[in-house]
A = this chain, B = another copy of it.
Amino acid sequence: MSWLADQGPSTISPIAAKVNREWVEHALSTIKAAGYQKSDARREVVEAFARHDCAVTALDLEREMRARKSPVARATVYRVLEQLAELELAHRVDVGLGLASFEPVMPSGEHHHHIVCRSCGRIDPFEDPGLERAVTRVSAESRFAISDHEIILRGLCPRCS
């Protein structure tokens, strides 16, 4: 079994949706406040990222920007994503496909988790308040200072089962 991604776009984010302007502004102002200077490349990455609300990889973003004729160097994509993660504007999620993916952090605090098909790699997001409460309780009981959590369900999607 190969769990490394192949050449093509990952199944994580097949489509590029409309950019989330609100999030972009939130992100850009946070970035500015953190002392970073303004640049086209960074804005491109932030906007490309803001078209997603579920896990995307750096390589996906690179491909999308190239397709839109606003190419940004791969290294820069990684650097910007790293900065976003540092500023808590992005969370790294690791769905187990061997490559890092990220998703935007909503200021509202709302977030979701992932169901991954072990056959086709399809990823669906889900939310569940009860589960969320349970995780929050466990986090509070822990001796760690928990700031984040990740839940992944694995199985076969309707089509593959």
Contact = CB atoms under 8 A, between A and B. Distances in A.
A130 B134 contact: yes
Interface residues of A, number: 43
Contacts of A124: 144
Q: What is the copy number of this chain in the assembly?
A: 2
Nearest to A142: B115
A24 interface: no
Interface string A123-161: 010101011011101110011111111111111111001
Given A144-B156, A148-B153, 14 more contacts: A3-B100, A94-B96, A96-B100, A96-B150, A128-B134, A131-B135, A138-B153, A139-B153, A139-B155, A142-B153, A144-B155, A144-B161, A146-B153, A149-B153
